[in-house]
Amino acid sequence: MTTAKESVKQERSWSFGTAPGAVPLLGHALALWRRPLDFLASLPAHGDLVEIRLGPSRAYLACHPELVHHVLVNPRVFDKGGVFDKARQLLGNSLSVSRGDDHRFQRRVIQPAFHATKIADYTAAVGDDTRAAIDAWRPGQTQDIGEAMHALLMRVAARTLFSTSVDTATIEEARQCLLTVSEGIYKRTVAPLGLKEKLPTAENRRYAWSNTRLREIVETMISERRRSDEDHGDLLSTLLRAEHPESGQRLTDEEVLDQVVTFLVAGSETTASTLAFVFHLMGAHPEVEERVHAEIDAAVGDRSPVFDDLPKLEYTRAVITEALRLYPPSWMSMRVASADTELGGHPIPSGAMVVYSAWAMHHNPELFPEPEKFDPGRWLDERAKNVPRGALLPFGAGSHKCIGDVLALTETALIVATIASRWRLRPVPGSTLKPQPKATLEAGTLPMRCEQRRPS
Ligand code: HEM
């Protein structure tokens, strides 16, 4: 059992519930598989901690922010396991899937590479990449904003990681590989038996080929960089030079390779989806869009937005926060109890899965009044103070909290400001948003019509 210090303080009593609608043999597995977002959002009404059945196993959804926080800040008791164990075999023992001492070591070596002081340098070229992408847009043209943001984010990620050393064709090739690899990793981690994934099908061959090719591309970048030994001021240079603060130990090439692939998987789709959701929401709410445009115009005038403008874009940042609340790209994650323990006064056996879902929390009316309403004003002035502590969790918390959170928010704000200063994106009549819960919450196909606000 955990020590008294590790258990959540019993200042209040927590309600414990069981999810309704379990079916024989499968329990809630079908509901979680077929309509995960609705199912998860329905659970907080049944308790602060809710038991669900996945076949013969019991899992627990922590619904109350304090219980979620407790799980996330106690990695010795609630560690990465389950789907992360499977992902480790595919991604290598990298930051997002490692556990225990391995994770603590990696985090200490890599954290300085994401220090806030580095972000301005990493994102210096984001405006150029964004302008290069939107210069090709024509008034009246339709863009699939999900696809356009993914292509842009891959260029931005390549630039952040490898500065100028990658050509456009290689970036596009890496992007296509990454799409297949991310999808493949997701399918392999959620497949109960994984038998289909072992068959020699075209899809499985494509996955294997894309994985090898992606790693080859990244490997070439690393060995070129090792040869030159120059500091390019990008994420790769910082990673190659990073040292453990006490032992002085550095990452091997294999470890850097695993981390870079992890950053591409963890960082590009999440940020691209966030941008697609932001533009969809602005398009559907012209009054919000107008205010964003006015704020950007006042802060930036005729020139292009830069890093130093971001503090002035308070409303734009509130719009991004509200998009992350409504559509959190990381919609569900889990930990596994490494020993018999308790949560909210309820016993949790060793090996049990404890799930947390930003989607379920962000759509809980007890935490966010009118949760389905897109209301950026929640994040401004006095109203922001009313949001319960820990209720907004797009980047997680504790020792596994997103290491790229500041980078992602900076890139997102710069890209929104750069695009919105020149283009207004209108939803194409009849197109609707259907968020797709996969490894991340994807925006799916979102055609939008381009209206020029200002020539390039
Ligand atoms: C809007 C964009 C992003 C969102 C919403 C997001 C969300 C998250 C969340 C929720 C976690 C924690 C998952 C858990 O608790 O199991 C996480 C972890 C992580 N993220 Fe992000 N992320 C974003 C962008 C990025 C970027 C840009 C990078 C890197 C370039 C990145 C790299 C990582 C890594 C390496 C981890 C694992 C950290 C660890 O376990 O120590 N993410 N992210």
Reference 64, options 371, 388, 384; nearest CA is 388
Alpha helix (H) ranges present in 244-313? Answer: 253-284, 286-300
Q: Domain boundaries in the chain?
A: 1-72+333-393, 96-330+401-452
Cα 32 to ligand 1 centre (Å): 23
What lies within 8 Å, CB to CB, of 101 at 6+ separation is none
- For the Cβ of 330 lying below 6 angstroms from any atom of ligand 1, the answer is yes
Cβ atoms 121, 140 nearer than 8 A: no
Sign of CA dihedral 142, 147, 148, 149: positive
- For the Cβ of 403 lying below 6 angstroms from any atom of ligand 1, the answer is yes
**One-character DSSP codes across 407-449:** HHHHHHHHHHHHHHTTEEEEEPTT-----EESSSEE----EEE
Quote the distance between the C-alpha of residue 51 and its chain's center: 26
Rounded to a whole number of angstroms, the CA Rg of the chain reads: 22
- For the Cβ of 275 lying below 6 angstroms from any atom of ligand 1, the answer is no
List, for residues 81-122, the tens digit of each pLDDT value.
888 888 887 788 899 999 998 899 899 989 988 998 889 988
What lies within 8 Å, CB to CB, of 61 at 6+ separation is 19, 40, 43, 49, 50, 52, 354, 355, 356, 357, 360
Distances in Å between the Cα of 223 and the Cα atoms of 51, 219, 390 are: 49, 6, 42
Cβ atoms 246, 111 nearer than 8 A: no
Range 96-330+401-452: architecture per CATH: Orthogonal Bundle (1.10)
Q: What is the pLDDT of residue 212?
A: 93
- For the Cβ of 262 lying below 6 angstroms from any atom of ligand 1, the answer is yes
Q: What is the pLDDT of residue 360?
A: 98
Tokens of 188: 């392999």
Cβ atoms 428, 300 nearer than 8 A: no
**SS percent in the chain: helix, strand, coil, step 5:** 55, 10, 35
Alpha helix (H) ranges present in 285-397? Answer: 286-300, 314-326, 358-362, 381-385
Atom of ligand 1 nearest to the CA of 84: 16
Q: Which residue has the least CA distance to atom 27 on ligand 1?
A: 267
- For the Cβ of 404 lying below 6 angstroms from any atom of ligand 1, the answer is yes
Annotated binding site for heme: 402
Q: What is the pLDDT of residue 6?
A: 47
CA angle 99, 101, 105 (to 5 degrees): 100
CATH class of 1-72+333-393: alpha beta
Atom of ligand 1 nearest to the CA of 160: 30
Atom of ligand 1 nearest to the CA of 259: 35
DSSP state of 50: E
Annotated binding site: 402
Q: Which residue has the least CA distance to atom 15 on ligand 1?
A: 396
- For the Cβ of 327 lying below 6 angstroms from any atom of ligand 1, the answer is no
Q: Which residue has the least CA distance to atom 18 on ligand 1?
A: 402
Tokens of 190: 């959620």
* Tokens 């609705």 -> residue: 38
Cα 365 to ligand 1 centre (Å): 26
Question: CA 450, CA 134: separation in Å to the nearest integer?
Answer: 10
Q: What is the pLDDT of residue 153?
A: 93
Q: What is the pLDDT of residue 141?
A: 97
The segments of the chain whose pLDDT lies below 70 read: 1-11, 164-165, 191-195
